[in-house]
Amino acid sequence: MKLRNRLLALFCLLVFIAFGVFFFRTWVVQKPFGIIVFLSDGLSTNTLTAARLYEGGGSNRLTVEQFSRLALVRNDANDFAVPDAAAAASAIATGVKVNNRAIAVDPNGKMLQSILALARESGRATGLVTTGHLTAATPAAFYAHTTDPNDEDAIAEQFLSEAMVDIALGGGLDHFTPESKGGKRTDGRDLWLELRGKGYAPVRTKAELENMPTFLSGPLVGIFSNEHLAYSSEVESGSQQPSLSDMVRRAIEFLQTNRSGYLLVVDCAAIARAAQANDGDRVLSETLEFDRALALARRYAGEQTLVIAVGKQDVGGMTLNGYPLRDDRGVALLGTNASGYPSITWSTGPAGSPGEATPEPPVPAPGQPAAPPARPARSEPAAYEAPHAIHSARDMILIGSGPGSEPINGFMDNTAVFGILRSQL
């Protein structure tokens, strides 16, 4: 009798436990352990189509095409229909539309709290990775406040004083070091040395980054170049600079040791830099590097990580033209196509590099006006020539996967990215 009662009690206990597990998995909202946000100027339909063909032809598929959640996002600023980098990044980082040139400062001058600060308050570890300057407008939107995005020396001081990241990797050492040490600071301060004094473990090379122990007692900062980091095609085996994928991988390895989870922000700045110079080859190769880093992040972080990638802005209005064959790829999509027209064109910018000369015009018939003289062809011409490409009005792509990505759908505003992230902290 007693044995039967014990068995009955054990059965009831097991049923209760099973019901509890089912209830928790089905109805209790679970926050993702890891949250990774990619910001990319190459995340637009024109650039992705060209990058897909450039890598492997018409049958090729990119990592971004494997994401289950997809939306188009509007990215206008508070004062202009076309945003600059500061306004576009600030809308994503803070959830508020700001004026062009403003970094996390609203139109009334109020300083806005970023998602990185909120993540830190919630107990998550935080990270920032960029292929540009750590003090440039896009990464700065997640930790700084200013209405002058060009004053990177002052932004570097805010990076030091705010100290809200557990790992930061990128370039731009010039804005941390004085002129006496080869930097650009005129105030004589050595912020690189001051970062050490605040407990940051400093690294300057890829080897140092790889050899750094994953479990650190304090934050880590890696600055691998005085200026921007090298393009992916320039980072060779044995290089002193890590690639974007290298930095993303190591950042995840460091951040996931925090028991309360983490938030990692990745700025793919090399794409915008190439677009400003109307360098289509590098725009496409850097877009593919972003795609590889995105694949690596999903693989290393796991399926229960919320991974989001959002297009920040469009620079230059690049378009791939003509009728390439289905298997054409790489250099076959550059220069002049089989019809004699440029394969890649831009709406604004330096008008590309000189290409093959156009044929001389035919001799006019007697009594007909002379044809204009032939001009050198341009391999990547721009409709309006300018010293550098100008930002273009274009809705950008937002993709996501993992827990918390469900709201990504249809047409959205870029400020909605902040709301999605905040709900998962």
CATH of the domain at 201: 3.40.720.10
Determine, yes or no, domain membership for 333: no
Tokens of residue 257, six digits: 């040791």
> Region 67-86: what's the mean pLDDT?
96
Determine, yes or no, domain membership for 27: no
- Tell me, what's the pLDDT at 8? 67
Determine, yes or no, domain membership for 16: no
More confident residue, 358 or 321: 321
Does residue 270 have a pLDDT over 80?
yes
Neighbours of 304 (CB within 10 A): 12
Give, in order, the Cα–Cα distances in Å from 64 to each of 61, 175, 397, 409: 8, 34, 10, 15
Q: Assess contact for 385 and 351: CB atoms under 8 A.
A: yes
In angstroms, the CA 381 to CA 151 distance is 32
Does residue 170 have a pLDDT over 60?
yes
> Region 381-391: what's the mean pLDDT?
91
In angstroms, the CA 400 to CA 407 distance is 9
- Tell me, what's the pLDDT at 200? 94
The DSSP output letter for 95 is: S
Tokens of residue 220, six digits: 């880590």
- Tell me, what's the pLDDT at 398? 98
- Tell me, what's the pLDDT at 27? 47
The DSSP output letter for 214 is: S
Short-list 265, 254, 282, 266, CA closest to 131: 266
Contacts of 49 (CB under 8 A, 6+ apart): 320
Mean pLDDT of the chain: 89
Q: pLDDT per residue over 51-74, tens digit each?
A: 999 999 999 999 999 998 999 999
**Sign of the dihedral defined by the CA atoms of residues 31, 32, 38, 42, in that order:** negative
- Tell me, what's the pLDDT at 359? 47
Determine, yes or no, domain membership for 400: yes
Classified as helix, coil or strand, 364 is: coil
Does residue 24 have a pLDDT over 50?
no
Short-list 71, 110, 116, CA closest to 93: 116
Q: Assess contact for 50 and 333: CB atoms under 8 A.
A: yes
pTM of this prediction exceeds 0.85 = yes
Determine, yes or no, domain membership for 114: yes
Determine, yes or no, domain membership for 26: no
Q: pLDDT per residue over 118-142, tens digit each?
A: 999 999 999 999 999 999 999 999 9
Determine, yes or no, domain membership for 357: no
Determine, yes or no, domain membership for 233: yes
Q: Assess contact for 262 and 35: CB atoms under 8 A.
A: yes
Tokens of residue 312, six digits: 């920040």
Overall domain count for the chain: 1
Enclosing domain of residue 231: 34-317+389-423
pLDDT confidence tier of residue 20, bands split at 50, 70 and 90: low
